[in-house]
Amino acid sequence: MAATEPELRVPIAGLLGWLLPGAGHLFIGDRARGIIFITAIAVTFWGGVAIGGVKGTVDPGKRKLWFLGQICAGSHALAALAWSNHIPGPPQDDPSSLIAYNRAEEISVVYTAICGMLNILVIFDVLVRAEKGPAVTAQRGPPGKARGAST
């Protein structure tokens, strides 16, 4: 897949990177990095959902701005949203069984939104690596440091 035309390589890598965080890196052939991103973002996103419950965590009607952050995590947020919509509203006798009325809900929203923000970083990273090509990608150092600098 790394042999795709350069004009298509960058947008496809970016789109895949949004759809499944880390998949863009797999697409350009940077497998180890891709696996790290897939694992780190998926575990943190669904760990956040587990803290606050899916119904209260992903709620675009109640928390629009937070949802903008969450949706940057791509398929994770879409799956959580679909699942949240699928679950009926909380029962009248015990609403706290589905909705957290304490800090757990806030923590879960922060966890999932930060995953989305991290995925923006990952998408920018894959866009740069895809544009430079596989040979340069492997040698790319941290931004701001020239290769071969003595300090």
Residues near other proteins (CB under 8 A) are 32-33, 36-37, 40-41, 43-44, 46-47, 49-56, 83, 87, 96-100, 102-105, 107-108, 110-111, 114-115, 118, 121-122, 125, 139-143
- Sorted by sequence, the CB contacts under 8 Å of residue 49 that are 6+ apart come out as 57, 58, 80, 108, 111, 112
Nearer to other proteins, 1 or 31 (CB): 31
Q: Residue 34: how many CA atoms within 13 Å on its side-chain side?
A: 18
Amino acid at residue number 117: M
Can you tell me which residue has the tokens 């430079």?
132
Q: Residue length, the chain?
A: 151
Min. distance of Cβ 137 from other proteins in angstroms?
10
Query: What is the smallest separation between the CB atom of 60 and other proteins, expressed in angstroms?
Result: 18
CB closer to other proteins out of 8 and 83: 83
Q: Which is nearer to other proteins, 5 or 101 (CB)?
A: 101
